[in-house]
Amino acid sequence: MSEAPLVPGTVAEHAICLLIKLGQVAFRIAEDDLGEFGLRVRHYSVLQALADNGAMSQLALGAFLRIDPATMVTSLDDLEKVGYAMRTRDPQDRRRYVVDITEDGRKVLVRLNSTLVGLDDELLADLKALDRKSLHRIMSKLASGPTVPGMFDALRESTDTKKKA
C-alpha cells in the first residue's frame, strides 16, 4: 500500500478536491460492501427512503432522492426482482405507480444499516469521536442547506433542458 495521500500536493489545498476524492473513494468502498447483498448505494437509498416515509409514488420517490427517472426505474426493477420493494398502481391515478418496501426489504435494510455503521467506523477510524460528530454535522449542514442542493437542482434542470432541446 502507498503512503501517499489520496489528494497529493497543492491539489489538497482545495476543499472541493478533497471532498470529490473522498466521496469517490467512500462510494467505491460502500458499493463493494453493499455488493455482498447484491445491492448498490442507490438501492439502499430507495429502501431507506421508503422505510422512513412509507409508500410513495415512483415520481415522488425519484424527486425526493434526486434520482433521474431512468435510474429510478432500473433501481426499482432490481429491488422488485429480489423481493425488497413492490410497485402497485395508484388507486387514485392508475397512470402512477406507488412504491413500498416489503418485509424482506425491511429485513435486509437492518443488515445494510449495520454494514454502513461498520463502514463509518472503518473509514473514519483516523478521527476522534468528537471530530466524527463535527464532520457529520458539517456535512449534514451542507447537504440540507440552500446552497449545495440549490446549485445541484439548477444544474440538473439546466441539463434536462439541454437534453430536451
pLDDT in tens, 5-43: 999 999 999 999 999 999 999 999 999 999 999 999 999
- From residue 142, alpha-carbon distances to 43, 55, 107, 138, 157 in Å are 23, 27, 31, 6, 20
Averaged pLDDT score across all residues of the chain? 94
pTM of the predicted structure, to 2 decimals: 0.91
Q: Which residues of the chain have pLDDT under 50?
A: none
- Which residues have C-beta within 8 Å of that of residue 2, sequence separation ≥ 6? none
Taking CA atoms, 152 is separated from 66, 99, 117, 144, 156, in Å, by 9, 25, 27, 12, 6
Is the separation of the CB atoms in 41 and 12 below 8 Å?
no
User: What pLDDT sits at residue 161?
Assistant: 76
Q: What is the pLDDT of residue 68?
A: 92
pLDDT score of 2: 72
pLDDT at 131: 98
